[in-house]
Structure 1
Amino acid sequence: MLNLLIKRLLSAIPLLLLVSFFVYALVDFIPGDAAETIAGDGATPADIEATRQQLGLDEPLLLRYLDWLWGVLHGDLGNSLYSSQSVSQILMDRMPVTLSLTVVAMVIVVVVGLPLGIVAAVRANTALDRALTAVSSVAMALPPFIIGLVLVIALAISSPIFPATGYTPLGDGFVPWLQHLILPSIAIAVISAAEVARQTRAAMVDTLSQDFIRTTRAKGLRSAHVIGKHALKTAGVPIVTVLGLQVSRALAGAVTVEFVFALPGFGTLAVSSVFSRDIPVILGMVMVTAVVIVLVNLVVDLSYGYFNPRVRV
């Protein structure tokens, strides 16, 4: 297990380097000039060029990237081109919102997706199974921002049960915190819950047809015990894998959902930073998100040893 952990951590280093350089180069090709925007509408070409030199934007792409990477290796993500505020501080201010949104969304995914998949597998090829499969197919086709708009109209405007916009920190109370997160979390979780339900059904149907399951039933064990202890654990590898993938989907969905619900998280920060070409902030968000995804995938890989002892190293 320790060898697997070391291998995964070492393999993450070139991956993070590749992702950071790709994003750095991609942002550099975005139309527009950050120096021109910062200099202002009445700036002369000389003023714009001076601003560009001050920000280091006149240097070659590779040199600018290496300079940024050197700072990252020393714990410095740089400063925003517009506010001159530390990128680390900007991300720390926004991170609790996106992490809260992701955690609540994943709780909904697990609480809804897993039971629906298990029920569909136990009732395989029945009307209930076909109905759940049809509903999950429709749910997977709906974009999160469309779901969010429908939820706002139905549960925040027509029936003011939940607030439509804004965010309340957890320190101000659990109930207000959850009230502001429940609608955007549902908007993100719908597609992921449908995907988890479908994958759980497929894995459980295959497992329930195995000989050892029939043997445990023949021994007189209760159905709940057979499904919960034996079948679900055996089918755990593909289920945990798809759950890990949904964390990435939740983080990606936050970009549009946070914009719809006016949440001050990574999503709204990403939109404003891309439009303004604030390269240090964009790269900081990308690196933090990439590290989170790498850690989630690492946890998923390590969990395989619990569900299938044969993969332990």
Structure 2
Amino acid sequence: MLTFILRRLLSGLILIVVITVLAFTLLYLGSGNIARTILGQNASEELVAQKSAELGLDRPLIVQFGDWLSSAVTGDLGRSWFNGQLVTVQLSSRLAVTLSLVVGAIIVTAIFSVILGILAARRGGAIDGTVQLISIIGFAIPGFLIALFLVLIFAINLGWFKATGYIPLTTSFTGWLSSVTLPIIALSIGGIATISQQVRGSVIDGLSRDYVRTLRSRGLSSNRTVYKHVLRNAGGPALALLAVQFIGMISGAVIVETIFALPGLGSLTVTATLAGDIPIVMGIVVVTAIIAIVVNLVIDLAQAALNPKVRLS
């Protein structure tokens, strides 16, 4: 198992390096005259040249990346070019908001996907048809429309939840719950539509296997057969898909955070990208890559626990 973990960590580190190199290169090549963007179009050439020298933009790209990387490995992601604040400080406050949404959404997605998938596979008939309909609706309707519908019905008309804004968990649990419930639901719908179908298909396939008939012939109850054996074997593909959904939800949080006016990574990403604040964007890229690697490692470990053959792959 230790060798398995070390291999995954090594591949994750290589992936981070590749992602940062690509992101750094694309950002600098696609940002035009960064110093002029910061100072404005009316700034003189002399001021633009001074600003470029101040930020180190007049040096070769590989030298700039080397300096950034040497600082990043120590945890120093630099400062914003616009407000001078440390990138780590700006990211830490916003990361908590985004992770609370995404982690909450992935938990809701996992629970409801398993429940709906198993119900559809075991009961069939009208229940299966209802689950299929829910999945089609989740696939067909864009997330931002679901978010707007939730705001209109449950926040504005019924007043059950906050329409906009975010209350930290440390300030008020009920306030935090009110501010994240609708965004979490909006993020979860698409994931439930996808993963419930995966669970349904895997359980149906598992129930048709010979080992299931053998277990039933030995007197094992139907529930124990499904939850202890069939679901264990069906869990691998669902977990892999759940990891993909987790990363996708981080991207989807950009729209959801905008609709609900939440101060998360999504809104910061849009603002920093439009302004050309490359240290902030690079910080977001690094944090997102680390999150993706950690999530995939956790999923790999869960799959290895469910199926020892995974450790040999």
The answer to whether the 8 Å contact 1:121/1:201 transfers is: yes
Deviation string 1:71-121 (CA, Å, 9 cap, x unpaired) is 112321111111111111111111110111111111210221110111111
* Other structure's SS at 1:168 match: coil
Paired position in structure 2 for 1:291? 290
The answer for the alignment partner of 1:118 in structure 2 is: 118
1:91-170 correspondence to structure 2 within 5 Å: 91-124=91-124, 126-170=125-169
Shift of 1:40: 4.0
Query: What is the aligned partner in structure 2 of residue 311 from structure 1?
Result: 310
Matched positions, count = 312
Q: Name the structure 2 match of 1:243.
A: 242
Which stretch shows the higher mean deviation, 257-266 or 238-247?
238-247
Which residue of structure 2 lines up, in the alignment, with residue 186 of structure 1?
A: 185
- Say if 1:170 and 1:177, in contact at 8 Å, map to a contact too: yes
Alpha-carbon distance in structure 1 between the residues aligned to 2:140 and 2:32: 34
Of all paired residues, the percent bearing the same amino acid is 39
Q: Distance in 2 between matches of 1:231 and 1:294?
A: 28
Instruction: Supply the AA of the counterpart residue of 1:30.
Output: G
Q: Secondary structure at the match of 1:262?
A: coil
Question: 1:197: which partner in 2?
Answer: 196
**Quick one: distance in 1 between partners of 2:178 and 2:213?**
45
Q: How far does residue 262 in structure 1 lie from its aligned partner after superposition?
A: 0.9
Runs of 4+ in 1 over 3 A off after TM superposition: 29-34, 310-313
Q: Secondary structure at the match of 2:30?
A: coil
Matches within 5 A, 1:266-281: 266-281=265-280
Unaligned runs of 5+ in 1: none
C-alpha contact 1:192 1:249 (8 A) present in aligned 2: no
Gaps of 5+ in 2: none
CA shift for structure 1 position 65? 1.5
Task: Give SS of 1:163's match.
Answer: coil
2:26 and 2:201 map into 1 onto residues whose CA distance is 39
Contact 2:203 2:234 in 1 (8 A): yes
Q: 2 CA distance for matches of 1:253 and 1:31?
A: 24
Tell me how far apart the structure 1 counterparts of residues 159 and 33 of structure 2 sit (CA, whole Å).
43
1:32 shift after superposition: 5.1
Counterpart of 2:92 in 1: which secondary structure? helix
Give me the TM-score of the superposition, normalised by structure 1: 0.94
Partner of 1:19: 19
2:37 and 2:276 in contact (8 A); partners too: no
* Cα distance in 2 between the residues matched to 1:263 and 1:30: 28
Name whichever of 37-46 and 176-185 sits farther off: 37-46
Q: CA deviation at 1:43?
A: 2.2
Deviation at 1:240, TM superposition (A): 1.4
For the structure 1 residues 143 and 283, does the alpha-carbon distance in structure 2 shift closer, same or farther, using more than 3 Å as the test? same
